[in-house]
Amino acid sequence: MQTTTSALNPQPSALKRDPFLVIDNVSKVFPTPNGSFIALEDVNLTVYEGEFVCLIGHSGCGKSTLLNMVAGFNKPTSGEITLQAKRITEPGPDRMMVFQNYSLLPWMTAYENIYLAVDAVYADKPNSFKKEIVEEHLQLVGLTEAAHKKPSQLSGGMKQRVAIARALAIRPQVLILDEPFGALDAITKEELQEELLAIWREHRVTVLMITHDIDEALFLADRLVMMTNGPAANIGEVLDIPFSRPRNRAEIIEDPDYYNLRNYALDFLFNRFAHLD
């Protein structure tokens, strides 16, 4: 069942808008040698245009399975996912995904990695147009100087900046991030969180992001979707994150609501839906 904690938070203005991305009664069953495995059951979520939504839940609860279906890599066994009322059945340039492991082509430079994606989507546009997009997005993530370096010559944070620039260069409507900062050190992670918020503010792209870090979710998200444990996982609760934007990390952690929300999410994960193993 999906609820919103009205005691802690006011109704977000987002709820008055038209639905943008709708996950409607979605279940996912995987065939396995031991029979069917129900990963997700009856998942419902409505996301509004321009929202930043984080998903949290224990390892193996089905977060990636859910976002892979939004990306179109996988199909629901039952139910449907729609973007602007159009059913998602396959991957498309309107939804771009960024993974924890960067997934850059190692033999290509940062520039070439982004160019390849831009070229695939804007094949019939002139070269000058495509080059301009690549340069604009390298600049957006502060990598103009490193444009001609290959992934092996880039730090983890730089590689993830390239991956984010590549995804945004396609100008998606939805940016899907699967634990994008999970492999980064704490300082780089905070820097990239700030950059992501600045980019999101400017592009007004709708973001769905998996994280294992409650503080990261509280800093970034408009809403935090908390998933129950699998098998047959679904959405346990959705927390509205009320902090005004632009957000300032130092101010947020001074806010008593921050600790109320943090404790609420911790209680959900480690008491109410503790991982038994």
Ligand X SMILES: Nc1ncnc2c1ncn2[C@@H]1O[C@H](COP(=O)(O)OP(=O)(O)OP(=O)(O)O)[C@@H](O)[C@H]1O
Contact flag: residue 32 with ligand X (CB under 6 A): yes
Using rule CB under 6 A, residue 65 touches ligand X: yes
C-beta atoms surrounding 198 within 10 Å: 12
Site for ligand X in 108-167 (CB under 6 A): none
When asked if residue 61 is in the footprint of ligand X (CB under 6 A), the reply is yes
Instruction: Give the count of residues interacting with ligand X (CB under 6 A).
Output: 13
Q: What is the DSSP string of 190-248?
A: HHHHHHHHHHHHHH--EEEEE-S-HHHHHHH-SEEEEEPPSSSB-EEEEEE----SS--
- Under 8 Å between Cβ of 106 and 151: yes
- 258 or 268: CB nearest ligand X: 268
**206, 175 Cβ separation under 8 angstroms:** yes
Beta strand pairing call for 19-32 and 78-83: antiparallel
Under the binding rule (CB under 6 A), the answer on residue 64 touching ligand X is yes
Cβ contact 46:232 at 8 Å: no
Is the CB of residue 240 less than 8 Å from the CB of residue 9? Answer: yes
Spatial separation of the C-alpha atoms in residues 87 and 154, rounded to whole Å: 38
Per-residue interface string for the shown chain with ligand X, residues 219-248, x marking contact by CB under 6 A:
-----------x------------------
Does 193 bind ligand X (CB under 6 A)? Our answer is no
Q: State which residue, 8 or 232, has the beta carbon closest to ligand X.
A: 232
The least distance separating ligand X from the CB of residue 237, rounded to whole angstroms, comes to: 16
Residue 76 engages ligand X in binding (rule: CB under 6 A): no
Closer CB to ligand X, 55 or 199, in the complex: 55
Interface contacts to ligand X, rule CB under 6 A: 30, 32, 37, 39, 57, 59-65, 230
